[in-house]
Every structure is written in structure tokens, then in C-alpha cells.
Amino acid sequence: MKKLRKALCLVIASCMALSLAACNSNGNTDSSSQGNESAGSQTESTANGEGEPAELVFWDMPWGSSEYQNVAQGLIDDFMEEYPNIKVTYQSIPWDSSSVTFQTAVTSGTTLDVSTGPGFQSLQFHAMGKMIDVSDVMAELEEEGTEWSAGTAEQFNVDGFQTALPFNVDPRGIFYRADWLEEAGLDVPTTWDELFEVMEAMTHDDVYGMALAGDNHWAFYQFMFGNGGAYVTEDQQANINTPEVKGALEFYAKMRDSGVIPPGAAGSKEDDAKKMYMQGKAWCIPCGPDFGPVIEETSQEVYDNTEVLPVLESPNGTVRSPMGMNGLMGYSDSKYPEAVKTFMKWWTLNNGALWEDGGMGAFPADTTKNELPAIKDNKIKNFFAEEVMPHGCSLNYPSLSAFPAMSSLEGEDLARELSTEVLGGNNDFDTILSDMNDRIQQIIDSNN
């Protein structure tokens, strides 16, 4: 299979080289990337295994377990064996201050050719003219059978310019103790009202219905988007001051006042909430799928009795769940844009080991990889894939594509601010949302 794929890549690269030569003979230039327009036949022949070697720097986020980096490096070695004229240096970038690390690199001219990154990163750098258009790579992948998770292709597309390839999808759900539910003779909740009733039934002594932390902004997203709320309108204007978002705040206040969440939740951390769940001090917890392996490694008993709730129907009938959509992107300052594209395509086609052996928590953006044993045979991940992700939406919903201001909105951590405000006792929802809507519109306007 590797030889067949290599042969196909050789044919594609050769055709691209011939096409570019024809264009250059007519005095035209290649506009497939922003900047670096002169890196033509040399990089194409390099991508084809000929000519002067290309040297790429690949920054990757720690998406999985402690083994993830080793598995990723192994894939890099496989790529370089298949493409000996393309040397790739791999570097893992810690999540802490990663946005500053990338911003500094891109604006200072630090060598960076390709990277993975969070959902809105490529949109931010595209606005600065720093991204390679990978529309052609997307088309090739789709022709070869790649099937993108709903919304991911549009997420990174700006007026036909594909700022990144979809890399992974990070859904959210609510983990719960199925054995406690069975012992209490209660049914699995399917609505917000039923969830609250079960949480009340599970709250006693020092045990709470839900382990909720104020800094878990994704937990609030589950209720905000789950009730039909959003940051913006379809035409990308501020839209958080709505009855739907207010309903999510009211539900948070209801949990706070009833005592189904621990006191002091406003100032607690997500790690504290996870410890509560693992210690048997909470019936449920909002989390991402990467919490599953943590439970299994810590306590097989807790894992065996843990399940994930279906996406709950809100009081207004909405059934929706937010998902992070993360990308693989190439940078236009690279000396070797065609080598970058060759690597990005190969990485997308051959990265299954990141899930099989690297403990990747998020899901492949290519849904055909959901058949990997690491996903299909895992009860938590399989449930997410089959029952949660079909109801997923991006944080820029209902706008189909993301836009640069979303990176700033995410950086402001507005959902965490809403969460801590309400959990801390602030019930002036109208003022909170009105002020935040103004701030969101200012951020959008400043990015236009």
C-alpha cells in the first residue's frame, strides 16, 4: 500500500511540476500560497524525491497520552523513509502559552513550515497572509476516499481559500456512574429536566449530582449551545444576548442554588472536578473523550461503571453539542510549500497510529478512521462517535465557516467568565449578557 501511495504521489507531483512549467512559460505565477511565490520547480522536484533536499519544521500539540510524541516521531521517520529528500524536524509545543508561542514565531520569522493547532489558529494567521492554500490537497484527499466530519471542511475555508486541513474533532459529553443509576432504579436522563431530577436524587452527604468547575468553559458551552445559544449570528455578528444563552445561565444558577454541585464551584479547577468524580463524590461530570483513558488507567472499577449520556434535549427542544475542530496547516513563509503539501497529505492519510498507539483523545476529522479498533472497540469513544458527534456544532455556529475574530473571542475565554460569574452568585443575567454582547461586537469590529 505504501508503494502504491508513493507512486500516486509521484505522478501527482510530476503533473504539478509540468503544469507549473507551462504556466511559467506564459509569464504567469503560482498563486496557491500567500507569499513565497518564487518557490516553484525546486520545491516540486524536492517533493518528488529529486533535487535539493527540503527541510521542514513541524510543530505539533500534545494531543494524546505520554506516548503520543514518540508515536508522532515514528510517523515522521516513516515519512522521511518514503520521501528521503524531505527532512522533517518534529517539535511538541506545550498547550500552556501555545498561542503566544505561535504568534511570536509567525510574526518574528522563526522557521515554521507546518503545524497542528486549535480551531481558529489558521484563520487568525490567514488574516495576516501567513497560510498556504491547501484546497488542492483537500481535493486530492477527497478523491482518494477521505470523508470529513460534518462542518470541518467549511470551518477552515475563507472565500474558497482552504487555510488548513481538518485534523481532529473534539466533542464534549457528560460522563456518569451507570451503576449508581441502576441501584437507584432511575432511567438514563434524556432532557435537562430529567438530568436535574437525577442530580437531586444523587446528592447526599458529601456526594454531589455533578462535579462542575468554574474554569471548565466547555461545560458551559454544552448548555449554551445545547439550548440553541451561540456567540454570533449566521452573518458573523454578536449574538450572545439571547433567551437561549440566558436559559443556560439560569440552569447553572438552578444547579448552584439547589446544591447539586459543590459549593465553591466558581473557583474550582477542572482537575478538581475530575478528582471528585474519580473519588466517588459526584454522579456525573461534563468532559471530553480524553477523560475516558484517564478513568481506565486510574480505576478499572470506575471505568467499567462509567457511561456517557446521550445529547440532552433542552427545554426549548434543542439537541446540540459543541465540538472543537482542529487543523493541520502550512505556513506561507516556508521555502518549500510543495514539500509542505506533500507532508500534509501523507500525514492525513497515514496518521492512524496516533489513535491506535498515541492515545489521541480527539477524533479523526476523517470519519473513515472511526473504524479504527482504538475507537470502534472502545465503549466511550464509540458512543461519542455514534451518538454525540452527529449532534455536534462548531463554536462559530451558525456561521458555517470560522473567521479571524473567533480566535480573539476564544482567547478572551468568555464562556469561563460567564460560568464563574453565575456560579459565584451573580443573577443579573440581562446585564451580564448585554455587556458581553457589546464586547463581542467590539472584538468582531476590531478584526474587520
Same domain, 54 and 159: yes
Q: Do 43 and 97 sit in the same domain of this protein? A: yes
129-144: pLDDT as tens digits: 999 999 999 999 999 9
Find all residues with CB under 8 Å of 99, minimum gap 6, and list them.
Answer: 118, 121, 411
Structural domain includes residue 178: yes
Same domain, 9 and 132: yes
Helical residues (DSSP H) of 266-372, grouped into ranges: 270-278, 291-298, 300-304, 337-350, 353-356
Lowest mean pLDDT across 45-59, 194-208, 218-232: 45-59
| 137 and 51 inside one domain | yes
What distance in Å separates the CA atoms of residue 181 and residue 198, rounded to the nearest whole number? 8
Same domain assignment for residues 351 and 227: no
Residue 206: Cβ-neighbour burial (10 angstroms; 0-12, 13-18, 19+): exposed
Tell me whether residue 108 is in a domain: yes
Instruction: For residue 3, give every residue at least 6 positions away whose Cβ sits within 8 Å of its Cβ, in sequence order, or none.
Output: none
DSSP E strands, 219-279: none
Any domain includes 317: no
Confidence of residue 48 (pLDDT cuts 50, 70, 90): low
Same domain, 218 and 276: yes
136 and 198 in a single domain? The answer is no
231 within domain boundaries: yes
Q: Looking up cell 508513493, which residue turns up?
A: 6
Q: Is residue 39 part of a domain?
A: yes
18 has pLDDT over 50: no
One domain, residues 134 and 75: yes
Q: Note whether residue 184 is domain-resident.
A: yes
Task: Say yes or no to pLDDT of 14 above 80.
Answer: no
Q: With bands split at pLDDT 50, 70 and 90, how would you rate the model's confidence at 47? A: low
- Identity of the residue numbered 4: L
C-alpha to C-alpha distance for 381 and 159, rounded to whole angstroms = 34
Whole-angstrom distance, CA of residue 102 vs CA of residue 117: 9
C-alpha cell read off for 214: 468554574
pTM for the predicted model, two decimal places: 0.84
111, 245: one domain: no
Does 166 lie in the same domain as 177? no
One-letter amino acid of 172: R
Residue 398 domain-assigned? no
Pairwise CA distance, residues 292 & 70, whole Å: 21
**Distance, CA of 49 to CA of 84 (rounded, Å):** 7
Instruction: Note whether residue 310 is domain-resident.
Output: no
pLDDT surpassing 70 at residue 321: yes
Residue 118, all three cell numbers: 486549535
* pLDDT digit string, tens, across residues 355-377: 999 989 899 999 999 999 999 99
Peptide bond connecting 398 to the previous residue in cis, omega within 30 degrees of 0: yes
Are residues 226 and 349 part of one domain? no
Q: In terms of domains, do 164 and 193 share one?
A: no
Considering only residues 15 and 62, tell me which one the structure prediction assigns the higher pLDDT: 62
Domain with 214 in it: what CATH number? 3.40.190.10
pLDDT greater than 80 at residue 40 = no
Domain total for the chain? 2
- Host domain of residue 208: 173-287+413-446
Q: Are 413 and 336 in contact (CB under 8 A)?
A: no
**Alpha-carbon distance 167 to 122, whole Å?**
12
SS3 57: strand
The cell numbers describing 95, all together, are 498547550
